[in-house]
Amino acid sequence: MDRNTLIAFLLIALVLIITPFYLEQFAPAPQESTTQTIQKETKKEPEERSATPVRPKVQEEPGEQEALAPFTATDITEVPETIINVQNDLFTAVVSSRNGGSFISYSLKKYAMQDTLPVELISNYNKNNLLISVTSLDGDPFVLNNSWQFLGSETNIDASVRTQTLRFSTVLFGRTITKTLSFHPGAYQIDVEVDLSAISDELSQRVFRLSWNGGLPPTEKDLKGDIFYFKAYVYQGGEIDDDTKIKKDEAPLRKMPGETAWVAVRTKYFMSALIPKEPAVGAEVSGKKVDGIPLYNVALKQESNKKQEVTLYFGPLEYRRVKALGVDLEKTMTFGWTIIRPISRMVLALLVYLHKIIPNYGVILILFSIMVKLVVYPLTKKSYLSTQKMQAIQPKVAALKEKYKKDPQKLNKATMDLYKEYGVNPLGGCLPMLLQMPLLIALFQVFRSTIELRGAPFVLWIKDLSAPDTLVVIGGFPINVLPLLMLITMLLQQKMTPTQAPGQQKSMMYVMNFVFLFIFYRLPSGLNLYYTLFNVLTILQQKLLSSQPIITEPVKKNKNKKPHRKK
């Protein structure tokens, strides 16, 4: 391996090192103790509420910038809270009549926490969801929270077979307003219809706000890695605004006028999004940190002079489901740089498709690595032969260095002429690896942040291909097996590749193997499994190609006579 090849390897390592820092975080270490605390907080039972009539009161909203005035007794009738249990084939929910229908529990049947209990997306911090608030003509703000009546008798609803609707009503300014929630079979979408048309002429600018407050709770064992993905989004004019950042434990209220296609909050694997049937007239977003957890509030501002229909998508960030909504909500998903995203989506689609046939993503990765190796085999073969030629002409290169040691310009020209004469590409040995870089980065994105790979086991100790394959923790340090196996394959590869590089370059090449170990050590085990298998296949390929003769005659002579082959 010559100097140019070594430089190319250093550039590859630099890209691999920079990529995680581009993501602002590099495979964070598990924060198990803190995570367990948060999960226990998330699983707390709903706070007890009095069943007796309560006078409407103001809720202190996280990030609220205005003092909200309470209703008076003449504004609205006081009613007790009603609890309704709802389920379909994907989730089980508990809905309160507060806020005209809000979730006090929402657990997913197909996804589990580390303790095998279903994922719960409602915590004590976001129970004040689907809240409606208005401002009167006098400038008095009102929150429509405690005084809704459930217009039904059945409190155990099953939407697994057909759509089921919950209807609520309240009275403001002596007029009735309504809100309905519709649940559908096989869907995480809940239709929300709000009708404030009866009081529209009493409202400032004839608008109201429908908000989701308190974000979503963390669900992963690796709390730090989960929190990294916590964000709030506003989609206006075909562009995503995710610039709301919580600094010094608070993100001030941002009022964003203009046609709004949707607003959303997300964690690493889950999302709550409000998608109006007709574009909203504006959006608001704010947030704050509570117990170290970033909690975002998002709201749609909608016209009150007619019924407004909004779809709440409340569930996992499954690419197929999210894209099927047809509103570009999939743009919130993390697939890497713009140039990498198509590759990431293609890789995910292929893996998901193969999973329908082979129910083990580890086995799929083995097949995937074989497929990639077959595709790049012609290129890697040419690269290997080019490397061998490079080694064969090293004595001639050394002679040129000695001849032109006082004239670097002539040395460079003579060296390039020599490479051209023998058909040698000095960077040929690195080209296959460079071409694999986009694929490796795409695999990194897919295994790190797509829910389809969340908790996907392989065999033995590899329980989750989206996380490091920690076999045991010794003194607080995780022992991850696959990166160590990958290091062994890299050392074997290097040993099988003959080189006439000086001792310093040889040492640098060995050091590079350990640099790669450091880079890959905390990456998802699925990525390490793929790369280790790819190295094993490369070793087998090298053994096969090493038995083939290498052309050592100049290219120009090959045109006129049969080449001499060195065995």
Q: What are the pLDDT tens digits along the chain (567 aa)?
A: 444 444 445 555 555 545 544 444 444 444 443 444 444 444 444 333 333 233 333 333 333 333 333 333 334 456 789 999 999 999 999 999 999 999 999 999 999 987 789 999 999 999 989 999 999 998 889 899 888 999 998 999 999 999 999 999 999 998 999 999 999 999 999 999 999 999 999 999 999 999 999 999 999 988 888 999 999 999 999 999 999 988 888 899 999 999 999 999 999 999 999 999 999 999 999 999 998 899 999 999 999 999 999 999 999 999 999 999 999 999 999 887 888 888 889 989 998 899 999 999 999 989 988 988 888 787 777 777 777 777 777 788 888 888 887 778 888 888 888 877 777 766 665 666 677 778 878 888 888 888 988 888 998 899 888 889 899 989 889 999 999 999 999 888 877 765 555 555 667 777 888 888 888 888 888 889 988 998 898 888 878 877 666 555 666 554 444 544 544
Read off the amino acid at residue 294: P
Nearest by Cα to 433 from 380, 371, 377: 380
Cβ–Cβ < 8 Å for 147, 75: no
CATH architecture group of domain 61-332:
Distorted Sandwich (2.70)
Cα gap 90→272, rounded to integer Å: 15
Neighbours of 342 (CB within 10 A): 13
Q: Is 565 helix (H, G, I), strand (E, B) or coil?
A: strand
Any bridge partners for residue 355, and if so which?
none
pLDDT at 32: 42
Do the Cβ atoms of 533 and 525 come closer than 8 Å?
Answer: no
What is the residue type of 550? I
Cα 424 to Cα 391, 411, 562, distances in angstroms: 10, 17, 19
* The two three-digit tokens of residue 97, written as one number: 């009549």
Amino acid at 439: L
Produce one character per residue of 505-535: b if its CB has 16 or more CB atoms within 10 Å, e if not: eeebbeebbebbeebbbbbbbbbbbbbbbbb
Q: Give CA–CA dist 260/257, Å, rounded.
A: 8
CA angle 266, 271, 275 (to 5 degrees): 110
Token digits for 63? 């990030």
Angstrom distance (rounded) from CA 138 to CA 534: 70
Distance CA 179, CA 372 (A): 53
Q: Tell me, what's the pLDDT at 499? A: 57
Of all helices (H) and strands (E), which one includes residue 265?
A: strand 250-266
- Contact between residue 107 and residue 118 where contact means Cβ atoms under 8 Å apart: yes
Q: How far apart are CA 151 and CA 167, in angstroms?
A: 5
CA distance 184 to 93: 13
Alpha helices for 158-301 (secondary structure H): 223-227
**How open is the CA angle 308-309-312, to the nearest 5 degrees?**
130
Helix (H/G/I), strand (E/B), else coil: 285:
strand
Give the separation between CA 204 and CA 139, rounded to whole angstroms.
Answer: 7
What pLDDT is recorded for position 295? 94
The domain limits of the chain are 61-332, 352-549
The encoded tokens of residue 210 equal 């429908």
Residue pointed to by tokens 């190295």: 535
Per-residue confidence (pLDDT) for residue 337, from 0 to 100:
81
The pLDDT value recorded for residue 47 is: 38
Side chain identity at residue 466, one-letter code: S
At residue 311, the pLDDT reads 97
pLDDT of residue 67: 31
Rounded to whole angstroms, the Cα distance separating 216 from 123 reads 8
CA angle 276, 280, 286 (to 5 degrees): 95
At 561 the three-state DSSP class reads coil
* Backbone φ and ψ of 80, nearest 5°: -75, 160
Which of 73, 241, 239 shows the shortest CA–CA distance to 171? 73
Q: Is 314 within 8 Å of 329 (Cβ atoms)?
A: no
465: nearest Cα among 447, 480, 440, 445 = 447
Beta-carbon contacts of residue 384 (< 8 Å; ≥ 6 apart): 429, 541, 542, 545
- Count the alpha carbons within 13 Å of 167 in the hemisphere toward its beta carbon: 7
Evaluate the CA torsion angle 120, 121, 126, 127 in order and state its sign.
negative
Name residue 201's amino acid.
D
Burial of 328 (0-12, 13-18, 19+ CB in 10 A): middle
pLDDT at 69: 34
CB 449 within 8 A of CB 333: yes
The residue among 383, 394, 385, 425 whose CA lies nearest residue 501 is 394
3-state secondary structure of 337: coil
